[in-house]
Structure 1
Amino acid sequence: MVKKEISRKRRRVESELRIPDESRHFRTDLICRAQRTVLSRITSTLTPEQLRLFERTCFGYLLRLPETKFSGILVHSFILRQLHRFSARDEFWFRISGVDIRFSPFEFALVTGLSFSRRTDISSYIPHSSSHRIRDTYFRGCLKVQYHDLERVFLSRPWGDDDIDAVKMALLYVLHMVLLGNDRRKKVSLEYLQLIDHLDGFNSYPWGVAVWQMTYESMSQASDRVYSRRMPEMRRYELYGFPFTFQY
């Protein structure tokens, strides 16, 4: 009987809004670290031949996304309407106009078009004989490569007439500044810098998993802050990853 009662209470709680009283909703500035404008910089920086090559990569279709400005008001409104879902792992539930809506890896994959797979060990996509050519060639002197280094190097076009390296640098730029949006001081993975020199492996890697994980973890942390007791004092917060998903 006790177990059944606990189960009933849990189901009842899971159907409730985390903030049932809308009078407790509040306004705030929500900052998105993903830079949608990077895609237009790719178009304006690469040559026609380099663009043609880029469009054949795993991120090429992103250049065809419609121009969209991030709406912090929209995403914040979703977060304010989140449901209790203790049994739901790796997903969110929201109640919008009386309808319960799920946001999970499934919906994320449908909207973004990014690939998902259980084979996420990045080392299995990098040949054993792989070197650190990209890092040594384009980031020489950097003790650690950060997001802002990627932008600085890409915009300076140091690859000369090497169309393939131009595409590789563009892929790194899009991956970090658009899909894995984060603080510009964030360190870039050395494995990513190594993998990019092997386009077959880079294009077949399930980037949707990494992008979803960053987006999900960022939203989870933001949700916990929003629902804390001091939430009316929360003047601004940030989201990492690719929260643009809510708008496509």
Structure 2
Amino acid sequence: MVIHQPCIQHFMKLNALGWAGQVLHNTLMRLTDHSDNGDALWFHVGEKPGRFSIYEFGLITGMKCVGSTHLPPMAEPRLIRRYFSTVRGVSRENLELQMSNAKFDNDEDAIKLSILYIIFCIPLSNANSVKIDPKFFALADILDEFNEFPWGVLS
């Protein structure tokens, strides 16, 4: 199986993510609120205001930032049945354990769980114990639809 232009291609090129607390603090100290409808963050840098909205987020990450994030109800996804049958509600921690054990039936499943892992560890990062909606596992089973999903809207 070959994945062409995965929706997370920019994140796959990252070597290591470091914490830059001073940069974040400096940026937040410049945060102002100039948005009429709250759809952007505005920063005062030098003598000029600068905007960071979902548009800029999409440009930087390459993720799709328009469209509906609604997914219809689905039966229990195959990936959950196969790799998480003993777990009630798959969390990011469960997904991380499965990735570190690296026991997969085939390469396709390894790729599908890997892209879910990247999505839920970087742009949709949350506490390890937060449950991942099973619909995303079903979506990962259809890679073309997974890549077309507006992940930037959720991020």
For 1:189, the aligned partner's letter is D
- TM-score (normalizing by structure 1): 0.57
Indicate the RMSD between aligned Cα atoms, in angstroms: 2.1
Q: How far apart are residue 171 of structure 1 and its match? A: 0.6
Q: Which amino acid aligns with 1:149?
A: N
Alignment gaps of 5+ in structure 1:
1-49, 212-248
**Count of residues paired in the alignment:** 155
Query: Is structure 2 residue 100 aligned with structure 1 residue 151?
Result: no
Higher share of residues assigned helix: 1
1:119 aligns with 2:62: no
Q: Where does 1:49-198 land on structure 2 (aligned, <5 Å)?
A: 53=2, 56-65=5-14, 67-85=16-34, 87-123=36-72, 131-160=76-105, 162-198=106-142
Report how far residue 76 of structure 1 moved: 1.7
Q: Is the Cα–Cα contact under 8 Å of residues 93 and 103 in structure 1 kept in the other structure?
A: yes
TM-score, with length taken from structure 2 = 0.88
Give the ranges of 4+ consecutive aligned residues of structure 1 lying more than 6 Å apart after TM superposition. none
Q: Please tell me whether the aligned partners of residues 54 and 167 of structure 1 are also in contact (alpha carbons under 8 angstroms).
A: no
2:126 is aligned with 1:204: no
Give 3-state SS (helix, strand or coil) of 2:115's partner: helix
**Identical aligned residues as a percent:** 27
Q: Work out which of the two has the higher radius of gyration on C-alpha atoms and give 1 or 2.
A: 1
SS at match of 1:57: coil
For the residues of structure 2 that align with 1:187 and 1:131, how far apart are their CA atoms? Answer: 14
In structure 1, distance between residues paired with 2:92 and 2:65: 24
Deviations 1:161-210 (A, max 9, x none): x1110100101100101111111111111111221111121111111111
